[in-house]
Amino acid sequence: MKEFIQKQFEKNHLQSVKLLSILREIQAEFHFISKDAIEILANLLKIERTQIISVVEFYHFLSLEFRGKYEIFLSDSITDHMLDKQSLANYFAKKLGVKLGQLRGDGLVSLDNTACTGMCDQGPAGLINGYAITQLSKPRIDEIVSLIEQQVPVEDWSKEIFKVADNICKTDLLLTEEISQGSALQNTFKQGLTETLAEINLSGLRGRGGAGFNTAMKWQFCSQEKETARYVVCNADEGEPGTFKDRVLLNQYAHQVFEGMTLCAAIIGAKAGFLYLRAEYLHLYSKLEAILANRRDNNLLGKNILKQGVDFDIEIRLGAGAYICGEESALIESLEGKAGIPRNRPPYPVVEGYLNKPTVVNNVETFLAAAKIALIGGQAFANLGTKQSTGTKILSISGDCEHRGIYEYPFGTTINTILNNCGAKDVLGIQIGGPSGTFISNQEFDRVIGFEDLATGGSFIIFNQQRNILDSVRNFTDFFVDESCGFCTPCRVGTSLLKKQLDKIVDGHGSAGDIVALEEICQLVKNYSHCGLGQTAANPILTTLQRYPEVYQKQLKAISYEPGFDLNASLAPARKLANRDDAGAYLAQVED
């Protein structure tokens, strides 16, 4: 093991900022991070062992305990559940002879849940030793179980098992055609860097991750910083359940994304950039590395790009399973090899980002759009969409419809149009922007996609009339409990309180005051949390409570007070101890 770690350490240039990369390698090789590995690594990197432990414990795909030669994770998104995930999970567990969340006795295989893996258009999905699997079915599970029992290495499994489809259903300005390699950069250098920034400003492009900050302004702020060591970071950590568009963009339009990053670097004066790729998209890693190599060969990356005196290169850093790392300052912490805990602001990343240097962090789609704008000009982009939301938005459509996949629409498109295009019928409502977004009912389908109405990072989950709203609210609330980083009190404790209170109501233990109590916790979590995760964690409850109060009311018992636990059931151990089974040993929940 020592040799292996030494090798990884050297491969990663002896840097503690590469801690996460090194830990990923150790996990992949040994299927856990042992105490010995921690000691060896602490000595090599000259960091404290506690720093390593805190990183391992923070990320979902790293573990202090052995996880077996085959580590299986099943995506637990609501979209997977809508495709019968639960019964397939039970089948999988039974076939393997292991309980969900456990390692099998012989140490060969473990089975666990994980948050949405970004395959909502082709679920139920999962990961095997980090690699994505889609469209799980009983025959597919039989095949996988047999390969595992025969201990066939994952590298030798049929490619069919790891097939991921792109499902591009509707294209517009950005997706119709990828720009030709280098064309946006050539145009940028031809018209000048200041002029290109002016074009991006004219385009009105706003961040596509969901928050919608003006892109040109962000780049300008960064370029004006005194500190000249600057960084460009592409946020490919799309963890919002229901979104998968960045996976498709990186599979088919990666050149254009990298081109967008490169022209950003030229404009802000950055020499180095990172693509922070979510761990769930490991299958894209080698392909993306090859594209970067190709761009270096073509003088589109590296020294003296297109002989214009610009030096810039891009490194891919993989995450290790943490939704919070999609938050830009948490992402930067993760890039530095730490747990992804959002920073205090100010300072903002454009002032103090990666290694406390000025850093631009933008979404994959933002860089894709920026490259297009550099080529076609700001006005052509601004002609699409609405005044406040220019251009197009790429949506990831999943749930109850005929054609799940990627759709590109000009901002301002109505929900009705979108539903018609994807073949959705008998719709109850839509979760727009994922759990952190909004649930809209079928009375609101004349509303439009846009920052001024329904802002979205791209997640679009359709529910038909047969679905129970409370199922999705519960799934989303559980998601936030699992993904809270735990830094601040309102989110760390509040998300668990939300879960407890919601479960109490849904399980039929709620009474008159319980909805008010639920709302009270919602407001606290929303208004007092440190970052966007906590501030939106109550949205699934708040947005459905507002639209369907009767659904919640119906769960309540018609008494003024209902205890949160089952009194009689709690007495079972006492009955057992006292060896009593007479009528007097049983109590009614509420006195008549």
Partner 1 sequence: MSETITIDGKEIPFKAGQTIIEAATAAGVYIPHLCHKPGYKPHGSCKLCTVNVNGRRCSACTFPAATGQAILNKTQELEDNRRKITQMLFVEGNHFCPSCEKTGNCQLQGVAYYLAMKDNHFPHFFANRELDASHPDLLIDHNRCIFCNLCVRASQEKDGKNVFAISGRGINKRLIINSKTGLLKDSDIEVNDCAVQVCPTGAILEKRKGYSTPIGQRIYDTQQIDQVSLTQETVYE
Candidates 234-242, 431-439, 469-477, 488-496; binding stretch for partner 1 (CB under 8 A) = 488-496
Nearer to partner 1, 403 or 500 (CB): 500
The least distance separating partner 1 from the CB of residue 501, rounded to whole angstroms, comes to 8
Q: How far is the CB of 376 from partner 1 (least distance, A)?
A: 38
Segment 310 to 339, residues that bind partner 1, using CB under 8 A:
322, 339
For residue 173 the two structure tokens come to: 């300005």
H-helix segments, 151-214: 183-191, 193-203
Check binding of 573 to partner 1 (CB under 8 A). no
């996949």: which residue's tokens?
Answer: 405
* Binding of residue 575 to partner 1 (CB under 8 A): no
In the complex with partner 1, which residue's Cβ is closer, 37 or 397? Answer: 37
- Per CB under 8 A, the list member of 101, 309, 513, 564 interacting with partner 1 is 564
- 155/317 Cα distance (integer angstroms): 22
Total site size for partner 1, rule CB under 8 A? 39
Query: What phi-psi label fits residue 25: left (phi over 0), alpha (psi between -120 and 50 degrees) or beta?
Result: alpha
What are phi and psi for residue 454, nearest 5 degrees?
-105, 95
Q: Which of 102, 489, 553, 570 binds partner 1 (CB under 8 A)?
A: 489
Position 344 contacts partner 1 (CB under 8 A)? yes
Least distance CB 334 / partner 1 (angstroms) = 13
Q: Please give the sequence-ordered ranges of beta strands (E in DSSP) within 204-259, or none if there are none.
A: 231-236
What's the closest the beta carbon of residue 185 comes to partner 1, in angstroms?
Answer: 39
Residues 18-77 that bind partner 1 (CB under 8 A): 35, 39, 48-51, 53-54, 57-58
Interface with partner 1 (CB under 8 A), residue from 123, 209, 490, 532:
490
DSSP string, 533-589: HHHHHTHHHHHHHHH-HHHHHTTS-SSS---SS-HHHHTHHHHHHHT--SGGG---S
Q: How far is the CB of 324 from partner 1 (least distance, A)?
A: 8
Kindly state the tokens that stand for 292.
């970067």
How many residues in total does the chain contain? Answer: 592
Nearest-approach distance from CB 478 to partner 1, in angstroms: 11
For residue 284, what are the CA distances in angstroms to 15, 155, 164, 278, 441?
24, 15, 10, 10, 36
Where is 360: in which H helix or E strand?
strand 359-363
Q: Which residue has the tokens 């998104």?
A: 77
Q: Is there binding between residue 530 and partner 1 (CB under 8 A)?
A: yes
Binding region for partner 1 (CB under 8 A) out of 164-172, 206-214, 363-371, 521-529: 521-529
Burial 555-590 (b: 16+ CB within 10 A, else e): bbbeeeebeeeeeeeeeeeeeeeeeeeeeeeeeeee
Among 193, 493, 556, 571, the residue binding partner 1 under the rule CB under 8 A is: 493
Pick between residue 400 and residue 483 the one whose CB is nearest to partner 1. Answer: 483
Q: Three-class SS of residue 411? A: coil
Identify which range of 290-298, 299-307, 527-535, 550-558 contacts partner 1 by CB under 8 A.
Answer: 527-535
Question: Does 346 interact with partner 1 (rule: CB under 8 A)?
Answer: yes
576 binds partner 1 (CB under 8 A): no
Which residues here bind partner 1, judged by CB under 8 A?
35, 39, 48-51, 53-54, 57-58, 322, 339, 344, 346, 481-490, 492-497, 500, 520-521, 524, 527-530, 564
